[in-house]
Amino acid sequence: MTSFPISEATPVSFPGPPPAETDVVVIGGGVIGVCTALYLSRKGRRVVLLEKGRIAGEQSSRNWGWIRQQGRDPHELPIMVEANQLWTELASQTNVDIGLKRSGVTYLAESDKDMKGFADWLPFATALGVDTELLDRSALKARFPELAKGGFYGALTTPSDMRAEPWVAVPALAGIAVRDGAVIVEDCAARKLDLEAGRITGVFTEAGRIACSDVVVAGGAWSSLFLRAHGVLIPQLSVRASVGATDPVALPHQGAAAGGKFAFRTRADGGATLAAGGFHELFVGPDAFRALPKFRAQLMSDPFKTRFLPAAPKGYPDAWSTKRTWAEDEVTPFEGIRVLNPTPNAGKLRKVAAEVEALFPDVGPIRYRSMWAGMIDTMPDVVPVVDRVEAIPGLTVGTGMCGHGFGIGPGMGRVLADLVCGDAPGHDLRRFRFTRFSDGSRMELAPAL
């Protein structure tokens, strides 16, 4: 019951070989890398995307499938509003049904404190014209009577938020990128940057060197390991999040909803994608110890959200035995595990199902069709790094999406393409700057919604 649609056994769709020369190399075939390659191609740049395993094989296909404006960090929100529009445009540019539905997202309040948090965030949505509404207990009962049976204090809801099937959607976006001129090569790990006088002149891969002047690192859970090998240090960790797909079930809501201990969304097959809301697990390794001071504010704000596990499985990015340095002609950790496929926490998922059954008795018994887990790249302040790295001219980083990457992917991809090309991105990116963890800035956590 731990199968997943994309794995190392999935046939390669983009076999290569890579060209010897290009303008930009994008490292990482998740939603951020794919969208960056797509928009770079549309800006007329020659781009090669390298994926060590399979397109969308890791967290970009293992997420909840929410395309959510609601609850975003105020600095992310304008990019997410753009992404919401871009998803609709991109869905019309492929003949693949990605399951895109404008079915809304609803957060349920379990206390007056939750309601206050919702109310504090609402003005950010209102300022950008997002159709978010705050519902008190009586309004929740009128709007979503089935959800109200759970005894909640109220809700925050955004009807224009959407959902899609991520393991279908991201490969479909890759197809659009290739049609628009991008070169994608799977089963091809980037090993090291080739630097001359500190500036990027190429990328060493397991299939040979690619000459280029720009590189975008969008490697998700693997980004920190790749960057550290070049002296670029970011306090990024990866946490395990477990998800299940149920058999057909009579959900109390046809969109996506989350309470304090659960989150669900309707699936095209009549079932639900179900997960534990606000819960994840951290394998403690060398990076966890190094980054602990930066994560202190996050841990103190919600000390019970993270469960700590003693050590990552062999070969994981922060496993104790994982190599941190290597030469360009050596086999790297990126070739050791082509697709991260963590074992899901089945006990936690069964507990979530029982909690949903107890809250909404009309749902009936929930049975899982499959379970899986992914490794989410996360940052101390719960917002990503999206920036050029001044110390290495030609290097751009887009990582640490903190579980929010699927929905915002097209918007962040468009922004990263502009950064590479030296164009104005149209958004204030200071919140996402690379130097914020070393310039003495106060840690500012994203809203805990």
Residue 231 lies in a domain: yes
pLDDT of residue 304: 58
Residue 4 lies in a domain: no
Instruction: Give the structural domain span for 433.
Output: 24-104+160-437
pTM of the model: 0.97
Residue 307 lies in a domain: yes
Residue 45 lies in a domain: yes
pLDDT of residue 3: 60
Residue 444 lies in a domain: no
CB 385 within 8 A of CB 396: no
Residue 5 lies in a domain: no
Low-confidence ranges of the chain (pLDDT < 50): 1-2
pLDDT of residue 437: 93
Residue 15 lies in a domain: no
Specify the CATH number for the domain of residue 320: 3.50.50.60
Residue 35 lies in a domain: yes
Number of domains present in the structure of the chain: 1
pLDDT of residue 1: 39
